[in-house]
Amino acid sequence: MSEIITELAWFPPVFPAQGRLPTQAALAGTNCAQQVNHEIAFIPLL
């Protein structure tokens, strides 16, 4: 017979009413540039 798992279930947080994506294209571009800069800064550490 299968074992019963008593751990609590996890679920994602409630989706915000305004959404998770920025409403202005400039904010998305800024965020993308920040991510690229973080990746470039991390590469020499490898």
Q: CB pairs under 8 A, 24+ apart, for 6-9?
A: none
Pick the closest to residue 19 from 7, 27, 11 (CA basis). Answer: 27
Classify residue 46: in a domain, yes or no: yes
Count of structural domains, the chain: 1
Classify residue 44: in a domain, yes or no: yes
Q: How far is CA 5 from the centre of its chain?
A: 28
Query: What's the pLDDT score for residue 10?
Result: 83
Query: What's the pLDDT score for residue 20?
Result: 76
Classify residue 15: in a domain, yes or no: no
Classify residue 4: in a domain, yes or no: no
Classify residue 31: in a domain, yes or no: yes
Query: What's the pLDDT score for residue 45?
Result: 65
Classify residue 29: in a domain, yes or no: yes
Domain limits for position 30: 22-46
pTM of the model: 0.48
Query: What's the pLDDT score for residue 8?
Result: 86
Classify residue 43: in a domain, yes or no: yes
Query: What's the pLDDT score for residue 16?
Result: 82
Give pLDDT tens digits for 1-46: 788 888 888 888 888 888 877 788 888 899 999 999 999 988 776 6
User: DSSP label at 10?
Assistant: -
Classify residue 7: in a domain, yes or no: no
